[in-house]
A and B are shown apart, each in its own frame.
Chain A
Amino acid sequence: MKQSRLLVIVGIALLIPFLLAGPRLATGAQQTQGMPIKLGVLIDFTGPMSFAGQPVVDGVKMRLEEAGYKVAGRTIQLVVEDSATDASVAVEKAKKMVEKDGVSFIIGPMISGMRMAVIPYLSKQRILTSAIHADPLESSKFGNNLIFPSTLTMDSLPVAEYASKVLGYRTATCIGADYNAGHEYIDTLAKQFESMGGKAIQKQWAPLGTMDWAPYLTNLKKADCVAVWTIDSDIVPFMQQYKSFGQTMPLIMPQANVITSAIVAEKGESVKGIIGNITYHYNLDYPANKKFVADFKARYKRMPEHHEAHPYIITSMFLAGLEKTKGDTSFDKLKKAILSLKMDTPEGPISIDPNMVVRANKHVCDIQKVNGVWVWHTLKTYVQPRDPAY
Chain B
Amino acid sequence: MGREPADGSERRGLLKLIRLAPQFVIVLLLIFLVPLEPTYIQSLATKILIFAIFAMSLDLLIGYAGIMSLGHAAFFGAAGYGAGILAVRYGIDNIWLGLASGILLATFIAAVFGIIALQARGIYSILITFALGQLLHSLATKWRSVTNGDYGLWGIPLPALGLSGFEWNGTYYYYFVFLAFLVCYLCLYRLVKSPFGKSLQGVREGESRMRALGYNTWLFKYVAFVIAGMFAGVAGVLFAYHSGIITPGDLAVMNSGFVMLMVIAGGIGTIYGAVIGAALIITIQYYASILTADRWPLILGGVFVLTIMYARAGVGVYFYSLWKRVLEGWKF
Q: Is A–B contact present in the complex under a CB 8 A cutoff?
A: yes
Residues of A in contact with B (beta carbons under 8 Å apart): 1, 3-4, 6-7, 10-11, 15, 17-18, 21-24, 26-27, 45-46, 50, 53-54, 80-82, 84-89, 91-93, 95-96, 98-100, 111-113, 116-117, 120-121, 178-180, 183
Q: Is A87 a contact partner of B38 (Cβ separation < 8 A)?
A: no
Given the complex, which residues of B lie within 8 Å of A54, measured CB to CB? 294
Given the complex, which residues of A lie within 8 Å of B114, measured CB to CB? none
User: Given the interface contacts A7-B326, A113-B152, does A95 sit within 8 Å of B244 by beta carbon?
Assistant: no
Q: Is B36 a contact partner of A96 (Cβ separation < 8 A)?
A: no
**Those of B242-261 within 8 Å (CB) of chain A:** 242-245, 247, 249-250
Given the complex, which residues of A lie within 8 Å of B319, measured CB to CB? 7, 10
A85 to B248, CA, bound (A): 12
Show 12 residue pairs from A and B whose CB-CB distance is below 8 angstroms, ordered by the A residue: A4-B329, A24-B36, A45-B293, A81-B293, A87-B245, A88-B245, A88-B247, A89-B289, A91-B244, A116-B155, A117-B245, A180-B150
Size of B's binding interface in residues, CB under 8 A:
47
- Is B323 positioned at the interface, with any CB of A under 8 Å from its CB? yes
A3 to B325, CA, bound (A): 8
The secondary-structure label for the interface of chain B is helix
Q: Which of A81, A84, A89, A120 contacts B155 (CB 8 A)?
A: A120
Q: Is A92 a contact partner of B244 (Cβ separation < 8 A)?
A: no
Given the complex, which residues of B lie within 8 Å of A87, measured CB to CB? 152, 154, 243, 245, 247, 249
Q: Is A4 a contact partner of B330 (Cβ separation < 8 A)?
A: yes
A82 to B144, CA, bound (A): 27
What 8 A-B pairs are tightest by C-beta distance, nearest first? A113-B151, A45-B294, A88-B243, A95-B40, A82-B293, A117-B245, A116-B154, A180-B149
- Is B208 positioned at the interface, with any CB of A under 8 Å from its CB? no
Q: Is B323 a contact partner of A180 (Cβ separation < 8 A)?
A: no
A156 to B245, CA, bound (A): 28
Given the complex, which residues of B lie within 8 Å of A18, measured CB to CB? 33-34, 37, 41
The secondary-structure label for the interface of chain A is helix
Q: Is B245 a contact partner of A53 (Cβ separation < 8 A)?
A: no
A178 to B139, CA, bound (A): 12
Q: Which of B47, B154, B325, B330 contacts A92 (CB 8 A)?
A: B47
- Is B286 positioned at the interface, with any CB of A under 8 Å from its CB? yes
Which of chain A's residues has its CB closest to B318's CB?
Answer: A10
Given the complex, which residues of B lie within 8 Å of A180, measured CB to CB? 144, 148-151
Given the complex, which residues of A lie within 8 Å of B94, measured CB to CB? none
User: Given the interface contacts A24-B38, A92-B40, A113-B152, does A46 sit within 8 Å of B142 by beta carbon?
Assistant: no
Q: Which of A1, A23, A89 contacts B36 (CB 8 A)?
A: A23
A268 to B306, CA, bound (A): 46
A99 to B243, CA, bound (A): 17
A87 to B242, CA, bound (A): 12
Q: Is A53 a contact partner of B244 (Cβ separation < 8 A)?
A: no
What distance in Å separates the Cβ of B321 from its nearest Cβ neighbour in chain A? Answer: 10
What distance in Å separates the Cβ of B330 from its nearest Cβ neighbour in chain A? Answer: 7
A200 to B322, CA, bound (A): 69
A89 to B44, CA, bound (A): 10
Q: Is A81 a contact partner of B289 (Cβ separation < 8 A)?
A: yes
A23 to B34, CA, bound (A): 9
Given the complex, which residues of B lie within 8 Å of A88, measured CB to CB? 47, 239, 242-243, 245, 247, 250
What distance in Å separates the Cβ of B19 from its nearest Cβ neighbour in chain A? Answer: 14
Convert B22-35 into 0s and 1s, putting 1 for each residue whose CB lies closer than 8 angstroms to a CB of A: 00010001000110
Given the complex, which residues of A lie within 8 Å of B38, measured CB to CB? 21-24, 26-27, 99-100
What distance in Å separates the Cβ of B14 from its nearest Cβ neighbour in chain A? Answer: 18
Given the complex, which residues of A lie within 8 Å of B172, measured CB to CB? none
Q: Is A113 a contact partner of B41 (Cβ separation < 8 A)?
A: no
What distance in Å separates the Cβ of A122 from its nearest Cβ neighbour in chain B? Answer: 12
Given the complex, which residues of B lie within 8 Å of A121, measured CB to CB? 244
What distance in Å separates the Cβ of B170 from its nearest Cβ neighbour in chain A? Answer: 9
Given the complex, which residues of A lie within 8 Å of B33, measured CB to CB? 18
Given the complex, which residues of A lie within 8 Å of B322, measured CB to CB? 3, 6-7, 10
- Is B43 positioned at the interface, with any CB of A under 8 Å from its CB? yes
Q: Is A117 a contact partner of B244 (Cβ separation < 8 A)?
A: yes
A60 to B29, CA, bound (A): 41
- Is B290 positioned at the interface, with any CB of A under 8 Å from its CB? yes
Which of chain A's residues has its CB closest to B327's CB?
Answer: A4
Q: Is A82 a contact partner of B286 (Cβ separation < 8 A)?
A: no
- Is B307 positioned at the interface, with any CB of A under 8 Å from its CB? no
What distance in Å separates the Cβ of A120 from its nearest Cβ neighbour in chain B? Answer: 7
Please give 14 more A-B residue pairs, beta carbons under 8 A apart, in addition to A96-B40, A113-B247, A183-B144: A4-B326, A18-B33, A45-B294, A53-B294, A81-B290, A82-B293, A82-B296, A85-B249, A87-B247, A99-B40, A117-B152, A117-B244, A121-B244, A183-B149
Given the complex, which residues of B lie within 8 Å of A96, measured CB to CB? 40, 290
What distance in Å separates the Cβ of B265 from its nearest Cβ neighbour in chain A? Answer: 14
Which of chain B's residues has its CB closest to A54's CB?
Answer: B294
A100 to B39, CA, bound (A): 9
What distance in Å separates the Cβ of B219 from its nearest Cβ neighbour in chain A? Answer: 36
Which of chain B's residues has its CB closest to A45's CB?
Answer: B294
What distance in Å separates the Cβ of B136 from its nearest Cβ neighbour in chain A? Answer: 16
Given the complex, which residues of B lie within 8 Å of A117, measured CB to CB? 152, 154, 243-245
- Is B168 positioned at the interface, with any CB of A under 8 Å from its CB? no
Which of chain B's residues has its CB closest to A136's CB?
Answer: B151
Q: Is B44 a contact partner of A92 (Cβ separation < 8 A)?
A: yes
Q: Is B152 a contact partner of A92 (Cβ separation < 8 A)?
A: no
What distance in Å separates the Cβ of B332 from its nearest Cβ neighbour in chain A? Answer: 11
Convert B261-297 into 0s and 1s, putting 1 for each residue whose CB lies closer than 8 angstroms to a CB of A: 0000000000000000000000100110110011011
Q: Is A23 a contact partner of B154 (Cβ separation < 8 A)?
A: no
Which of chain B's residues has its CB closest to A5's CB?
Answer: B326
Given the complex, which residues of B lie within 8 Å of A81, measured CB to CB? 289-290, 293
A76 to B64, CA, bound (A): 54
Q: Is B249 a contact partner of A86 (Cβ separation < 8 A)?
A: yes
Given the complex, which residues of A lie within 8 Å of B199, measured CB to CB? none
What distance in Å separates the Cβ of A90 from its nearest Cβ neighbour in chain B? Answer: 9
